[in-house]
Structures are given as C-alpha cells and as structure tokens.
Chains A and B, each alone.
Chain A
Amino acid sequence: MKELEYFVASDLHDAFSVLTYKNETIRVFAGGTDLVVRLKQDMVREDSLLDISRVKELSGIYESEGFIHVLPLTTHTEIVESDLIKRYAPILRDACLTIGSPQIRNKGTIGGNVANASPAGDSIPALFAHEAMLKLESVSRKRVISVEDFFVGPGKTTRKPDELLTDIFFSKFKNNPLEKSADYKGLNPLEKSADLLFSNPRSLSGDSRRLNDTGFFKKVGQRKGTTISVVNVAVNLRYMGDNRFSKAVVSFGAVAPTVVRGRLVEKAIIDSEVDSPEKILYISRLAFREVSPIDDIRGTLEYRRDMSINLLYEGLLELFNNGWRRLQ
C-alpha cells in the first residue's frame, strides 16, 4: 500500500476548502469500507485522503416540507433503525439490511455506497425506486440531479472533483420531484438552485397515497450473509385496486454498467391487469430486454439475465399472493 496524505475535515466549510485546493488529487473518505479495500490493493489513483466522517452537517435523517432527507454520512445501520425510513422508504430499508455484515453496516455510509457507483451497490436500485434526488455541492455551486442521472459507468459518476455529495432526498409521497417541477413553468430544475426549487413544495393528498404504495428489494448473491449482489432488483408500485397500478418504478443492479431502470416492465405493469402468476411471469420476462449483463467471477451473463427475470417474478408473485400488500 502506498503512503498517502491524510486530511480530516471538522466541518463542511473545512471539507470544501481542502477539496477545492486539492481537487482531483484527493479522495473523499467516508466510512472507508469500499476505499480501504481499494487502498490495500493499490487501486487508488489519488495521493491524499479527505476524511469527512466527522462532518456533522452531513449526517442524519430528517423530514422537511414533504421530503425525507438522508444525508450522505448516514450509516446503513442508522437507516435500518430509523422510523422515518421504515415509514417512508421501506424499500431502501430492505436494501440496506442486506448490505455486508453488522460491522460493515455500522461503518459504511449511504453516500459512500452511491458515490462508489458499483453496479452492484445495493442501496442504489432502492434509491431509484424511491425516485431519489442527489445534491452535489462545491464551494461555488450547488446542483440537484435525479439519482438516475448520476451514474456514468462502473465507478464513474458525474461528480466533479471539487464536489461533495451532500444530500439524498425523496418525496414522502413517492411523487417524483421532477414531475412537480412542472409548476415552475419553463424552468429546468437542474438549472435552478436546489433551495429555490424545494422551498415551496406542493401539498399532496397526504398519507393515503403511501398506504397504497407497495414494492420490494431482492437480491441473489453467492451466499446468504455478507454477500455482494450477483443481481438485485428494487420495485416500487402504487396500487389502485383490482390488480391495477398507477405507478411503477423497477430497477436492476449488477446487470449493466450502471444500475438501470426497467421501463418496459414498468409500462407493462401500468398498462395491464396484473391478475395472475402467468401475467406476472409474462411481464417479468420483459426484463430480458432491459439488461445487458456480463460474465464475471460471481456469475455468468446467462444466469444474471435469468435472475433479473426471476427475482422480479418472485417479488411480484409474493406481493400478488399477499394481496399486493408489502411483506413484513
């Protein structure tokens, strides 16, 4: 392992100053559970580290004006134990519960999981399913993007070297914030300051919507505990009754260079009456058209493709058998 310079930021201001100064020669260090492995394998290009683990402003879960904010330094354990998450982001909770071991969940952060941009990162499809937004900040800029727009390839994101991921948030009501932005006619939300954009959230019809929300996170790995996903899938549905859905978000991990949305599957769910296991299988098979997996040490292309279909099928069938209520 090479020698590195090590900076510890005590607050956000500190962090930004070092980051601006060091720019692409420094690597952000949160829980270190991904990074230390890479450091040991000499796979880190940068020659210094910026430890942000003590930056209080970047940790915590809170609700504000119709949004749930999960700040990037929040650990997987904190997510799993949070009542807000249990209520408003059960799919994320299920995903974080499967990450690593208790030790890894105690140290590993959601920001690290997202910024690490592994196609197999387990919180990512769940964040897709909750239609999360990410806030990226540097000393001089703030921008908000949809989680889907963050990933470019394995380990590659649109983050600029002087930016930190400072917030992960989603609507309490599963309403896509981007849809809402239609209120600000003619304005592209990506160009607006995040503060302006969300200072004025439209009131929604309340918790009744949430009651109709259902979905799941599933993964298949090489074993049951401490396992990296060979394939994972997250699904978020809004149920209207009579086996019909007004909304569906489906996302797959570890089957493409980044986590991907299953738009054909989503459309099929919304457009049909999902009223039999055969129908569910038919819909699930569309996943075939959504994924482009590879062979690697953990699984073959064929297995991964089949698992995209079968995990989706298993999850939907479980819900169907349970009257479309989420399984506890």
Chain B
Amino acid sequence: MNNMKYVGKETPRIDALPKATGTIKYMSDLVFPEMLYARILRSKYPHAKILKIDSSKAKALPGVVAVVTHEDVPGVNGFGIVVPDMPVLCKDKVRYIGDTVAAVAAESEEIAERALSLIDVEYEPLPLVEDPEKALLENSPKVHENGNIHLHTEIKRGDPSEALKKADLLVEHTFYTGRQEHAFLETEGGVAFIGADGNLNVYAGSQYPQRDQLQLARCLSINPRKIRVVSYPVGGAFGGKDELTIQPIIGLLALKTKRPVKITLSREESIISYWKRHPYILKYKVGFKKDGTLVVVDATLIEDKGAYSSLGGPVLNLAVEHACGPYRVDNVHIDGYAVFTNNGVAGACRGFGAPQTSFAIETIFDIAAEKLGIDPIALRKKNALRNGDLTPIGNKLTTSIGTIKVLESIEKSALWKNRNKLKLADPKKQWLKRGVGIALTYQGTGLGVGLPDYGGAILSMDEDGGFTVGVGTVDYGQGIGTSYAQFVAETMHCPIEKIKVILGDSLLSADSGPTSASRGVYTGGKASVIAASKMKEELLSKASRVMSLPCESLEFGNECLLEKNKPNHYISFKSLADKFIEEENKLPMTEGYFLVPTAEIKIEKAEGLPHHIFAFSAHLAYVEVNTLTGEVRVIEGAEAVDGGVVVNRQGYEAQVEGGFVMGMGYGLMEDLIIKNGIVKNPNFSTYIIPSIKDAPYNIETIPVVNPEDTGPFCAKGIAETVMVATAPAITNAIHDAVGVRLFKIPATPEAVYMAMKRKAID
C-alpha cells in the first residue's frame, strides 16, 4: 500500500479539533427553546407485581407538564433488538431494579425530580431469581411467564464422550466471569422534539440510527419515516448503546407535551439501569493427546441474562461459536444457556461473548502446556485453525486466517523472547514476583449467517469539488469517520480535508447496519469505496463530454481528470462541479451497498452462526505480583493483531491500547456486584476501572498484515479482538509469576491474595 496517499498512512482524526477544543456538541450539550427535562421513576424492587400506580399528585405539582405511565404508550409497550420484551413503561410487573415505571417532563430538573417522589406505586414483591443455575430448575420462580431459559443452543460434533475417555490429558475446571460495565464517558441521554415538519426528532447517541427509528416507530405507533434519529456524536458506547435506552421515554414525552424534552442520566442511574457484559459460568472438560493435539472440548455455558433479552441470545451464540478458541477440534459439545434473572440487564459489550470463553479456554491451554511440558506458543500453533480447516462448530474457513501469523509475530516480540530474564524481580524485594503470560483469540467480523448484513453509503459531490459521505454507522470513539474519509479521499484522488463525513443520521446517512461486531470499517468502508467508484464513473463521463475526449483517454489525477500523457490538459473537480450545476442544476450523488459475504452452512437454531470473516490477535502481559498483598501490576503488554491491513496506524494503536486496558479492567478489577437484586457499587468510587496509573507504561502494537480480499482496501475489523484475550494473558502471567491459577475474574488483589494463601495452606 506504499503508493497510497491516505490508506495505511498515519492520519489525524477528522474530529480531533472539535473534540480537543470542546466545541463539539454532544447530546447533553444541546439546549432548545422551551425545553423540558425528563426524569424516570424506576422500580423499587428487583422483582414485584405492580398493584397500582397513582400519578395524580405528581401531575398536580406546578411545573410538571406531563407524567406518563404504561397507559400512555401508544404502540407496542416493549423494545428489544431480537425480542421486544423490555417494557417502555412497566404495566403489571417489574423485573429488575432499574425497570421504568413512570416518567415526568417538567420545567426544571428539580421539579421533575420532586414529581417522581409524588408518584405512588404499590408493589407486591415476588421471590427473586438471582442464581442463573438455580433459575434453570423446574421449581424456580419465573422472571418471564415462558420460563427462565431465554435461549438454549447446543452444538455437537464428533464423539465427545468417547474422546474424553481416550484423551491423555483431561483438564476440567469451572470458570466465572464478572459483570462488566461499559463505562463510557457520556451517560445515556438526549433530546426529543417535534420538528417544524411535524416529524419526531430523537437526538440520542447510539450505535444504529435506522434500527432505533424502527424500534421507536413500533413503540410510538408512528410511521418510521416520520421519525428522524440522530445518534452522532456519542461519547463512547462499547456495545452499551446498541440497544435502546432512554429514547422511547423522551420520544413519548415529546409527543405528549409537543415540546423538546431532554434527559441526561446520572452515573448511578446509568450503571443501575442499563446494559452490562453478561456474567458467565463456564464448565469445561478439555482433552489433549500427549503430543499436544486438542481432541475434545465439552463445555456448558451459563449466561446470566438479567431481566430482558436484548442481544443476550446472539451473545450466547457467539460464545458457543468461540468456546473452543481458534483451534482445530473434531469432538465438540457446547451446551449454552441464556438464563433470565433479576440481576439488572445485560446486552452487547465489546467482544460479545468471546471474552468470557476466551478466559476459560486460554487458561486451559496454559494448564495443558504446563502439564504436557510443551511451550505455550508451540501448543497453540499445533492446534491453530488454518485456511481450509473446519472451525469447532463445523464451517470451512476460506477467508484470511491469521492464527499462525499472529503467533509467529508475538513469538518474535521482545517481551516473549526475553521472558525468562524478565521474570527476575527486584532481589531486595523477595515478595515481588514477575511473570509473562500469553493468550490467543479470534473474533468474527460482522453479524454472521441468518441476519442480513450489509454496508451502505451515500456519496455526494460538493460545490468546492470535495465530497460528502453519509454512513449510518457511528463514530463513538473508534475512529471510523476518519477511516471512511481516508477511503473516499484515496478512491476519489481528493485531499482528505475536502471530505466531509455524516454519521449516524437516519435521514442523511445510508443504513449501514449496526456499529457493532467489529464491522464498522469493513462494511461502511466497503460501501464508501463502492459509492466512490460509482462517483468516479459519473465524473469520468462528465469530463469526457466536457473535454470532448473518449473516457479511455482520461485518467484521474489529484482533484482532477486529465488526458493520459498530457498532464497539462485537465479539468479540476471544482470545474466539474460547476459544470454539473450549470448543466444539470444539481451535483452528482451515488450510493454504495455492500452485501457481506457469509458462510455456506447455517447452524440449526443458532442465529448468527457461523461467522465467515475473522480477526485474530495474540496478547502478552508482563506482570508483577505482590505476594504479600495480591496486587498485580501490569508492567507491559503486547498484541499482535491481524486486522487485514492497517488503515490508520494511529487508530490501530489506539484500539490496541484501549482494548488492552479495557481487557485489563475486565481481568483485574471490574465487576458490578448485585446482591438481592440491588447494585452494590453503582458509581466510580466503588465500581473500579483502571486508572492511568494502572495502565502499563508500554503496550506494543504489532500489526500483522493479512489482506482480506472482500474488505475495503483489504481491511477487516479489530475493535473487539484487541480486548478479548487480555484477561487470560494476565491471569496466565500471574500463574507464571506465583504459580496460582485464577478461575474467576476479576482477579482483584484480594482474590489473588486468597488464591495464594489457600495454595500455601494446602
């Protein structure tokens, strides 16, 4: 890609200036004339019948303009990407402590808040469903009338029980993972208002404006075309803004009051009320041959779904698909359950089921390497999936497969080569021990089979000879807007400064599917390239007419079309734009649509499986463990990542560094604790995320080039894989340092200390 000007080159983010100077307007910065403020009354109990709701006193409070309850929801009183089972406003039952019971719009936030306390709700508490394993039992209380199993996915290949008997080494353990909060900087919020055209506008940061539009249409019972959703800019999402949150409430209140209605959740309300990463219980039995060959994986996965479906089903399926890691194995039994409980709600979160299983399988690989006396990278290489192999769930790999490449790259890193020397800690501090750990993972790009997966882009020429590209996917920090600008600038031979990008607008940008599943660059990027190629044809034919030359004798130059071999004979884009206006009274506009290629097989009852395109990464962590306190310091990290090609080195490094630190938080400290249905740590003084002092001083990014022909300029997506295997790399490093295994994350100082203490006692 050396002959390219933008793609593959370090490119500053196109939104850097407004973000750095604070001029960008996030939804919580928006103020409209006559604007009202909304507040939501949330359930007092994690599981209860609603006997009565009386909002008359709240309605009577001066300054209150509207109070809404379930009776006011004009359409379907439910939303959810897969099953719309989460009430906009609860009618007869609440299922978690953040469930919405009523909402108020008032002249000020204070009045709205006071009005909440005037709403009388009578509840009859119901028995709690807390433990997802007990929830599976026949006699368990039920969160939903149809039972507590939201989804059961079971995959079987080969003869796992026979293979378990024959294996030379059997590793059997149960793993537990934490309930991770996305911890985006901007909490859920936005403004809804009726426009001059009578349409409902909902400005709320999210990951897919067109789907929000459809879901809102269903709840509010209005034509989706009469709703405009603007979901950009958004201050972070990580999956937590894929599903709807506050949008139906402010939409409803705006319709009711005919005035703009705004809400911004407090951190506590945000943490208590909305989506988390699902906690998992993972019971594994894995068999190896003496020579290290993986022969069987038998795993039961239990997903604590929380109260409503959202994406819990697809998350379970992805976990099932990724349960064996990126390894060849012919005897497989994966039994997955997504189970309803009253433990808050969980949904999409970066990694989407893969971080949970990666922790389990990568710990098992580390145990096997130790027991079999095989180098951990050699063991992984021996079993690594290669092009042409069948994945553990049985689909044939035909796209770019980087398993071996990332392992080879990480093997050459300074951290791995010097790991024995690095193990030496300060000799004066005998209680500090160091170690290096590795983990390997992969992550499907896109939505998989069974769900329509496509990218879309609208490209229009601007008067100045530049271009504006409109893509529905959203830049929530990962930098796809900049990537789209790079793709268009490169394809159009146009300086990047003259490319404008419109993201996340149901009216002005093309439906490009959700901004999730590591698919933003791949789908929206490809669609942008397609739209740009069509634009080039339009410009070419126009130039040919204007210059009276056949198309074949023209070529693209910098911001112009020129006659081949006659560089002085050209027409600039600006002049072409003038010509378009002069002759046609409009500027050209093209659209690009890209249908994502999918795997050939479909897995019964497992929507989304299998994936067809994968990104790969190998993670290293270098840690120091204080054996007296259990504190773990991550000194350094490294990741070798196959994302096809590097579109923007700065963006790539930012993803790797951010992903590593997020994975570190998952592995070492983050867990939302819910006891008796109540969130015990609903703010950042008790819910612990890594601070800059916890981040390693160096995280090495090792890009592995492995072009994916179907992607834009051969790119895939890396947004998730970069965080997925960090936790097991760290816990494996802890083992390397002090010889204890952690089967539960987060491995807090106390957990690590107790594991060491128990081992010493044994």
Q: Tell me which of A222, A302, A313, A314 contacts B748 (CB under 8 A).
A: A222
Q: Are A297 and B629 in contact (CB under 8 A)?
A: no
**Complex: how many Å from CA A37 to CA B753?**
31
- Check B669 for interface membership: any CB of A closer than 8 A: yes
Residue of B whose beta carbon sits closest to that of A315: B628
A222-B669, A311-B628 as given contacts; A306 in contact with B691, CB under 8 Å: no
Contacts of A317 in B (CB 8 A): 431
Is B685 on the interface with A (CB-CB < 8 A)? yes
A216 to B626, CA, bound (A): 17
Does B633 interact with chain A (Cβ within 8 Å)?
yes
Q: Which of A222, A298, A306 has the most CB of B within 10 A?
A: A222
Q: Are B629 and A223 in contact (CB under 8 A)?
A: no
- Of B633, B685, B750, B757, the most chain A CB neighbours within 10 A belong to B750
Interface residue B693 (Cβ < 8 Å from any Cβ of A): yes
Nearest CB of chain A from residue B145's CB, rounded to whole Å? 35
Instruction: Let me know if B421 is at the binding interface, CB within 8 A.
Output: no
Interchain CB contact under 8 A, B693 and A307: no
CB of B173 within 8 Å of the partner chain: no
B interface bracket (residues with beta carbon within 8 Å of A): 20 to 34
For residue A298, which residue of chain B has the nearest CB?
B686
Q: Given A307-B629, A314-B628, check contact A224 B686 (CB 8 Å).
A: no
Shortest distance between the CB of B682 and any CB in chain A (Å): 11
Decide if B628 touches A225 in the complex (CB within 8 Å). no
Residue in A closest to B690 when the chains form the complex, CB atoms: A223
Q: Indicate with 1 or 0, residue by residue over B712-754, a CB within 8 angstroms of chain A CB atoms.
A: 0000000000000000000000000000000000001110011
- Please, which residues of chain A bring their CB within 8 A of the CB of B692? 225
With A297-B673, A314-B431, A321-B428 as contacts: A303 and B685 at CB distance below 8 Å? no
Q: Chain B: which residue is nearest A37 at the CB level?
A: B685
Cβ B688 vs Cβ A223 within 8 A: yes
* B694 interface residue per 8 A CB criterion: yes
Say yes or no for A276: interface residue by CB 8 A criterion.
no
CA distance A321 to B428 in the complex (A): 7
Q: CB of A17 within 8 A of chain B? A: no
Let me know if A306 and B753 touch, CB within 8 A.
yes
**Residue B57 at the chain A interface, CB threshold 8 Å:** no
A226 at the interface (CB under 8 A from B): yes
Is A101 part of the binding interface, using a Cβ–Cβ cutoff of 8 Å?
A: yes
Q: Which residues of B contact A303 (CB under 8 A)?
A: 750, 753-754
Chain B 627-673 residues near chain A, CB threshold 8 A: 628-629, 631, 633, 668-669, 673
**Contact call A223/B685, Cβ cutoff below 8 A:** no
Q: Give the CA-CA distance A292 to B633 in the complex, in Å.
A: 29
Known: A298-B686, A300-B750, A307-B629. A223 touches B681 (CB 8 A): no
> Interface readout for A226-242 with B: 1 if CB under 8 Å, 0 if not?
11101000000000000
A228 to B688, CA, bound (A): 11
Output the nearest chain B residue to A219 by Cβ-Cβ distance: B629
Q: Which residues of B contact A226 (CB under 8 A)?
A: 691, 693
B680 within 8 A of A: yes
* A66 is an interface residue with CB less than 8 A from chain B: no
Closest to A228 in B: B685
A220 contacts B629, C-beta separation under 8 Å:
yes
User: A224 near B629 (CB under 8 angstroms)?
Assistant: no
Known: A306-B753, A314-B629. Contact between A225 and B693, CB under 8 A? yes
| Residues in chain B near residue A101, CB distance under 8 A | 691
A297 close to B680 (CB less than 8 A): yes
Chain B residues whose C-beta falls within 8 Å of the C-beta of A318 in the assembled complex: 428-429
Most chain B CB inside 10 Å of its own CB: which residue of A220, A223, A297: A223
Chain B 426-440 against A: per-residue CB contact (8 Å), 1 yes, 0 no?
Answer: 001101000000000
User: CB-CB < 8 A to B668: which residues of A?
Assistant: 223
Is the beta-carbon distance between A225 and B694 smaller than 8 angstroms?
Answer: yes
Residue numbers in A under 8 Å from B754 (CB-CB): 302-303
Q: How far is the CA of A226 from the CA of B626 in the complex (A)?
A: 19
B753 with A297: CB separation less than 8 A: no
Which residues does chain A contribute within 8 Å of B753, judged by CB atoms? Answer: 303, 306
Residue of A nearest to B428 (CB): A321
- From residue 384 to 400 of chain B, which have CB atoms closer than 8 A to chain A? none
B693 touches A306 (CB 8 A): no
Docked Cα-Cα span, A223 to B693, in Å, equals 8
Cα of A225 to Cα of B690 in the assembled complex, Å: 8
A32 within 8 A of B: no
Q: Return chain B residues, CB-CB under 8 Å to A321.
A: 428-429
Within 8 Å by CB of B631, from A37, A220, A300, lies A220
Given contacts A222-B748, A222-B749, contact A306 B757 (CB under 8 A): yes
> With the chains together, A324 CA to B694 CA distance in Å?
29
B14-55 interface code vs A (CB 8 A; 1 in, 0 out): 000000000000000000000000000000000000000000
A310 within 8 A of B: yes
Q: Which residue of A lies closest to B626 (CB)?
A: A314
Contact with B along A279-314 (1 / 0, CB 8 A): 000000000000000000111101100110011011
Q: Which of B673-688 contact A (CB under 8 A)?
A: 673, 680-681, 685-686, 688
In the complex, which residues of chain A have a beta carbon less than 8 angstroms from the beta carbon of B757? 306
Interface of chain B residues 689 through 703 with chain A (CB within 8 A): 690-694
- Which residues of the partner chain B approach A220 to less than 8 Å between Cβ atoms? 629, 631, 749
Contacts of A71-102 to chain B: CB distance below 8 A: 101
Q: Which of B428, B429, B626, B688 contacts A222 (CB 8 A)?
A: B688
Which residues of chain B are near A228, meaning CB under 8 Å?
Answer: 685
- Chain A residues positioned under 8 Å from B693 (CB to CB): 223-226
Which residues on the A side are within 8 Å of B685 (C-beta)? 37, 228
Q: How far is the CB of B95 from chain A (nearest CB, A)?
A: 24
Report yes or no: B681 in contact with A297, Cβ–Cβ below 8 A: yes
- Complex Cα distance, B628 from A317, in Å, reads 12
Partner of B694, one of A37, A223, A307: A223
Per the 8 Å Cβ criterion, residues 428-455 of B in contact with A are: 428-429, 431
**Does A311 contact B629, Cβ atoms closer than 8 Å?**
yes
- A residues less than 8 Å from B428 (CB atoms): 318, 321-322
**Least Cβ distance of A129 to chain B in Å?**
20
**Among B628, B680, B754, residue most surrounded by chain A Cβ atoms (within 10 Å):** B628
Is A310's CB under 8 angstroms from B669's CB? no
Query: In the bound complex, what is the Cα–Cα distance between A230 and B630 (angstroms)?
Result: 12
Q: Enumerate chain B residues within 8 angstroms of A310, measured Cβ to Cβ.
A: 628-629
Interfacial chain B residues near A223, Cβ < 8 Å = 668-669, 688, 690-691, 693-694
Q: Please measure, in the bound complex, the distance between the C-alpha atom of A314 and the C-alpha atom of B748, giving whole angstroms.
A: 19
A276 to chain B, nearest CB (A): 13
Q: A222 to B694, alpha carbons, bound, how many Å? A: 10
In whole angstroms, what is the CA distance A306 to B429 when docked?
A: 19
A222–B690 alpha-carbon span in the complex (Å): 10
**A300-B750, A303-B754, A314-B628 are known contacts. Are A224 and B633 too (CB-CB below 8 A)?**
yes
Minimum C-beta distance from B758 to chain A (A): 11
Residue with the highest number of chain A CB atoms closer than 10 Å, among B629, B681, B685, B749: B629
Residue of A224, A306, A311, A321 with highest tally of chain B CB at under 10 A: A224
Complex CA–CA separation, A101 to B673 (angstroms) = 25
Query: With the chains together, A300 CA to B688 CA distance in Å?
Result: 16
Q: Which residues does chain A contribute within 8 Å of B429, judged by CB atoms?
A: 318, 321
Across the interface, which residues of B come within 8 angstroms of A225, CB to CB? Answer: 691-694
Contacts of A227 in B (CB 8 A): 688, 691
B residues in contact with A313, CB < 8 Å: 628
The CA-CA distance from A282 to B688 in the complex, in Å, is 34
| Smallest Cβ-Cβ distance to A310: which chain B residue | B628
Q: Can you list, as one digit per residue, whether each of A37-71 has a CB less than 8 Å from chain B (1) or not (0)?
A: 10000000000000000000000000000000000
Report the Cα distance A216→B429, complex, angstroms: 16
Chain A neighbourhood of B628, CB < 8 A: 310-311, 313-314
7 residue pairs A–B, Cβ–Cβ below 8 Å: A222-B748, A222-B749, A223-B690, A223-B691, A227-B691, A297-B673, A314-B629
- For the complex of A and B, the 6 pairs showing the least CB-CB separation, nearest first, are A225-B693, A225-B691, A310-B628, A224-B693, A303-B750, A222-B688
Given contacts A222-B669, A297-B686, 10 further A-B contacts (CB under 8 A): A223-B691, A223-B693, A224-B631, A224-B694, A225-B694, A230-B750, A299-B750, A303-B750, A314-B626, A317-B431
